[in-house]
Chain A
Amino acid sequence: SQKIEQNSEALNIQEGKTATLTCNYTNYSPAYLQWYRQDPGRGPVFLLLIRENEKEKRKERLKVTFDTTLKQSLFHITASQPADSATYLCALAGRRALTFGSGTRLQVQP
């Protein structure tokens, strides 16, 4: 069956460091992969979309990689700030809807 795995344990890092979050998937061949940010009590907010033929995508301090051979996406936040603390969700495009991972909570310590 199709499965999306994100590290369920929280990631704690110091301000200014690079945060790296992992999304692994099995039994999928997604044409698109997306990353969202979710703050407590709020809806997810779109961050980046990467296509299967793209290796890397950047937006300001954010970088996403997509390795369809390893079936893995990495999400990087450089020069992290306490305001980056949130849960980050990866989502894979199925035929008709996005399927989400359970998310990884990032805590950036000042």
Chain B
Amino acid sequence: DTAVSQTPKYLVTQMGNDKSIKCEQNLGHDTMYWYKQDSKKFLKIMFSYNNKELIINETVPNRFSPKSPDKAHLNLHINSLELGDSAVYFCASSQDGVAGELFFGEGSRLTVL
């Protein structure tokens, strides 16, 4: 069983479209994250949810909206996609926050044309 699963793995779309990426974890963790990895391989925190409540929102444009229907799911919706949104988006979860390890999904590669 995959611990943290993301769908879709690849996403190719046109500028201006709206898209969503889904994430689910079956580890029973309280905290989930979205990270963005750009072409230079920097992993940057975007959002963090703890038990369905938003606790981090790191200077991310309003076009990005996370949604956590329950503590096992954290979805990312992106409106009006721009070329600069092209990146790999990683979902992760942890039980102990920064004091424990993060479990990452396999990533969702978004290409905006």
Contact = CB atoms under 8 A, between A and B. Distances in A.
Interface of A: 31-32, 34, 36, 41-46, 49, 87, 89, 91, 93-100, 102-103
B41 A102 contact: yes
A87 B98 CA distance: 21
B101 A102 contact: no
B99 A42 contact: no
A78 to B, nearest CB: 22
A87 B41 contact: yes
A93 B107 contact: no
Contact of B105 (A31, A41, A43, A93): A43
Range for the number of chain B residues in contact with chain A? 20 to 34
B78 interface: no
Given A44-B43, A89-B43, A98 B107 contact: no
A36 B104 CA distance: 10
A62 B102 CA distance: 19
Given A49-B101, A93-B98, A102-B41, A41 B33 contact: no
B40 A41 contact: no
Interface of B: 4, 33, 35, 40-45, 48, 55-56, 58, 90, 92, 97-107
Contacts of A87: 41
B48 to A, nearest CB: 6
A97 B45 contact: yes
Given A42-B107, A97-B33, A100-B43, 14 more contacts: A36-B102, A41-B107, A42-B106, A43-B90, A43-B105, A44-B43, A45-B104, A93-B99, A96-B48, A96-B56, A97-B45, A97-B48, A100-B44, A102-B40
A52 to B, nearest CB: 11
Contact of A98 (B41, B45, B106): B45
